[in-house]
Amino acid sequence: MSEYFSKLFDTSDFPARWHCGNWSDFLGWLHILSDLATFSAYFAIPAVLFYFARKRNDFPFTSLVWLFGAFILACGTVHLVDAIIFWYPIYRIGGMMKFVMAIISWVTIITLIRYIPSIMHLPSMAATNDRLKLEIIQREQTEQRLKESEASALAASKAKSAFLANMSHEIRTPMAAMLGYADVLLDHLKDPDNRNCVLVIKQNGQHLLELINDILDLSRIEAGKLDVEIEPISLVQFVSNLHSQMCVRSQEKGLSFDVKFASEIPDRIRTDSTRLRQVLINLIGNAIKFTEKGRVQLAVYMSQTNELAFSVRDTGIGISQEQQKRLFKPFSQGDSSVTRTYGGSGLGLDISNRLTRMLGGSISIESKLGVGSTFTVTIPILSTDDSSLVKPPSFGKLDLAVNETHKIQHLACRILVVDDRRDIRHISQHFLEKAGAKVTTAENGRQGIDVAIAARDKCEPFDLVVMDIQMPIVDGMEAVAALRLEGIDWPIIALTADAMKGDRDKYLNGGCDDYLSKPIDQGKLVSIAVKYTRDISKKELNRLRTERAKKFQTTLRSETSEARQ
C-alpha cells in the first residue's frame, strides 16, 4: 500500500492510453471530450444543488444534499481523470479516485435509505430513530387536530345559521305586531305631536327590522342558502320603479335624486331583479344617508367592456383611502364620529358586494373625502329574446311611473284572513278594510277551512285568502292542501315570518299563489290583494299555476334522477 502511495505520481512504467491500441485522432478526441463533458455536467449538478439548498434555511436535509453533491462530484472527477489518463499516464491516481468514489457512493446509499422514508412521510424501519418517530406522531396529531377543528367549524356555522333563522322568526313576529299597530294608531291620531311620537316608534322599528334582515341575509349567503333567480325584466321599468321608491327617501332629506341613461341600453335583461334592486337600494340609500347638501344621481349605461353599469354618484362626505380598503368587510364603518352621526351596521356593502358577485358582476368605488363618492355596479347582460340596445326614454316618462306607483289602490272584494295571532289578524284586517275590502277572520287552519267551505256552500266565495303558515291545530300548509282538495281555487297568499331559501318554493308548490313576509307592510299587502283580485284574470291565474306545476315536476324529476345516481 505504501509503495502504491509513494509511486502515486510516478508515471514512468505506464504509457498514455492514446498510445495503446489503434486510436484514430477522431476517436481519441471523442473519448477525451466526452469524459470532459461528463465531468463538467457532474460538477454543475452539485453546484446547482448547493446553490439552492443554501437559499432555504428551513431545508431539513442539508447534510444529505452535501453528501449527494460529493457523490456526484466524485463520479465526475473519475471522468476527468479518465480524460487525463487518455492523454497522460496517471493510472494510479485514477485507481485511487475510483476507490474514493466507491466509498462515497455507498455512504450515500446508506444515508438515502435512512432519509427517504421521512422525505416521503412514510413510517419505516428508519422510524425507529426516535426523532423521526416523534416527527411522524406530531404530524399525525396535527392532521387529526385540523380535521377536528374543520368539523367543529362546520357544526358551529350550521348552528349559527339555524340560530339566526330561529331568532329572526322570533324577532320578526312581535315586530310585525309593533309596526302594524303603529300604522293603525297613525290612522287614528290627529294631533301632530302624538303622530310624531308614533312615527319615531315606527321609524326605529323599521331600522331594527332592516338590521335583522341584513344579518339574516348575511347568514343565508354564508350558509349558501341564498339563490339567485334569473328572469327577463324590462330595464326601464326596473329603473323607474327604483327611482320612485328612492325619491321618497331623498325628498325626506331635501336632496334631489335623478336618473340618467348615459348610453343606449338593452330593452330587456336577464337578472335577479330582487337582488339587483337590493344592491342598488343599499347604494342609493347610503348615498342619500351620507349626503347633506347637493344631489344623488343614478347613471345607467353600457360600460366599455359591454356590461351594464349602474353608477350611484353623491356629493356627500366621501370615504378616505384607508377606509376604502376595508369597505366591503362585514361590520366595517367609517370612523366613530361617522358611526355616531349616521348609525348603521356596516353590513350593507358587504352584502351588496356578495350579491353582485352572485349576479356575475362587481362593485367599484371612487371617492374623495369631503367631495363625494361614486359606487359603480357592473353586471353582465345575459341575453334575452329581445336584448338589443335601444334609445332610452326621456326622463318625463320615468316621472309618470312615479305617479303610477303612488296611486292609492282600492279594493272591492271579500278576503279571508287566517292567523292565530290576534294582533296580526287585527292589523291585516285593518289594512285591507281601509283599502275597501270586506274581511272575515279565522283563528287557525281548522277554522279557516270551515269558514271557507261554508262560504263556498252559501255561494258567497272569497276573492282571496291570506293564510298564516305557522298555526296550532291545523297549520297553514295543511289548510291550503285541504282547501285545494275541496276544489276551492281562490287565490291564496302565504303569510309568514320565515324567510329562508326554499320557503317561497315550498309555499308555491304547496298550493299558494304568492307569498308575503312579516312584518306586514300595508302597501305590499294591499298591492298583492289588488293584483290577485283585480289585475290578474282567472285565465291568467290558471296559466301561472300550470306553468308552476310543470316547473315543479321537472325539478322533482331531475332531483329524483340525481338521487338515484
**Closest C-alpha among 439, 442, 419, 418 to residue 429:** 439
Q: Does 287 bind ligand ADP (CB under 6 A)?
A: yes
Q: Does 353 bind ligand ADP (CB under 6 A)?
A: no
- Alpha carbons 317 and 290: distance in angstroms, whole number: 6
State which of residues 49, 189, 338, 536 lies at the interface with ligand ADP (CB under 6 A): 338
Q: Does 278 bind ligand ADP (CB under 6 A)?
A: no
Q: In whole angstroms, how close is the CB of 203 to ligand ADP at the nearest point? A: 15
Which segments within 131-219 are labelled E, that is strand?
none
Residues of span 295-314 touching ligand ADP by CB under 6 A: 314
Q: In whole angstroms, how close is the CB of 367 to ligand ADP at the nearest point? A: 7
Segment near ligand ADP (CB under 6 A); pick from 41-49, 76-84, 160-168, 338-346? 338-346
Q: Does 269 bind ligand ADP (CB under 6 A)?
A: no
Q: In whole angstroms, how close is the CB of 372 to ligand ADP at the nearest point? A: 7
State which of residues 344, 361, 392, 519 lies at the interface with ligand ADP (CB under 6 A): 344
State which of residues 67, 90, 239, 319 lies at the interface with ligand ADP (CB under 6 A): 319
Q: How far lies 322's CA from each of 263, 325, 333, 403, 476, in Å?
A: 33, 6, 11, 42, 51
Segment near ligand ADP (CB under 6 A); pick from 21-29, 91-99, 245-253, 283-291? 283-291
Q: In whole angstroms, how close is the CB of 224 to ligand ADP at the nearest point? A: 21
- Alpha carbons 24 and 11: distance in angstroms, whole number: 24
Contacts 24+ apart (CB under 8 A), 243-247: 243/298, 243/398, 243/401, 243/402, 244/401, 244/402, 244/404, 244/405, 244/406, 245/281, 245/405, 246/281, 246/284, 246/285, 246/288, 247/402
Residues of span 488-507 touching ligand ADP by CB under 6 A: none
Q: Does 316 bind ligand ADP (CB under 6 A)?
A: yes
| φ and ψ at residue 140, rounded to 5 degrees | -65, -40
CB closer to ligand ADP, 236 vs 287 = 287
Q: How far lies 46's CA from each of 50, 107, 387, in Å?
A: 6, 17, 65
Q: How many CB atoms lie within 10 A of CB 407?
A: 7
CB closer to ligand ADP, 104 vs 338 = 338
| φ and ψ at residue 334, rounded to 5 degrees | -70, -170
Q: Give residue for cell 330587456.
A: 268
Cell of 463: 276573492
State which of residues 68, 257, 261, 290 lies at the interface with ligand ADP (CB under 6 A): 290
Residues of span 354-383 touching ligand ADP by CB under 6 A: 373
Q: In whole angstroms, how close is the CB of 329 to ligand ADP at the nearest point? A: 9
State which of residues 28, 117, 174, 346 lies at the interface with ligand ADP (CB under 6 A): 346
Q: In whole angstroms, how close is the CB of 157 to ligand ADP at the nearest point? A: 22
Q: Does 334 bind ligand ADP (CB under 6 A)?
A: yes
Burial, 325: exposed, middle or buried (Cβ in 10 Å; 0-12, 13-18, 19+)?
A: exposed
Q: Which one-letter DSSP state was computed for residue 125?
A: G
CB closer to ligand ADP, 174 vs 330 = 330
- Alpha carbons 240 and 243: distance in angstroms, whole number: 5
- Alpha carbons 528 and 524: distance in angstroms, whole number: 6
State which of residues 347, 401, 497, 529 lies at the interface with ligand ADP (CB under 6 A): 347
Q: Does 221 bind ligand ADP (CB under 6 A)?
A: no
Q: Does 250 bind ligand ADP (CB under 6 A)?
A: no
CB closer to ligand ADP, 249 vs 484 = 249
Segment near ligand ADP (CB under 6 A); pick from 21-29, 129-137, 332-340, 398-406? 332-340
Q: Does 333 bind ligand ADP (CB under 6 A)?
A: yes
Q: Does 286 bind ligand ADP (CB under 6 A)?
A: yes
Cell of 123: 413510517
Q: In whole angstroms, how close is the CB of 56 to ligand ADP at the nearest point? A: 44
Burial, 74: exposed, middle or buried (Cβ in 10 Å; 0-12, 13-18, 19+)?
A: buried
Total binding residues toward ligand ADP, as defined by CB under 6 A: 22
Residue nearest to ligand ADP (CB): 344
State which of residues 216, 246, 298, 349 lies at the interface with ligand ADP (CB under 6 A): 349
- Alpha carbons 410 and 526: distance in angstroms, whole number: 8
- Alpha carbons 314 and 378: distance in angstroms, whole number: 18
- Alpha carbons 346 and 488: distance in angstroms, whole number: 47
Footprint of ligand ADP (CB under 6 A): 282, 286-287, 290, 314, 316-319, 327, 332-334, 338, 344-350, 373
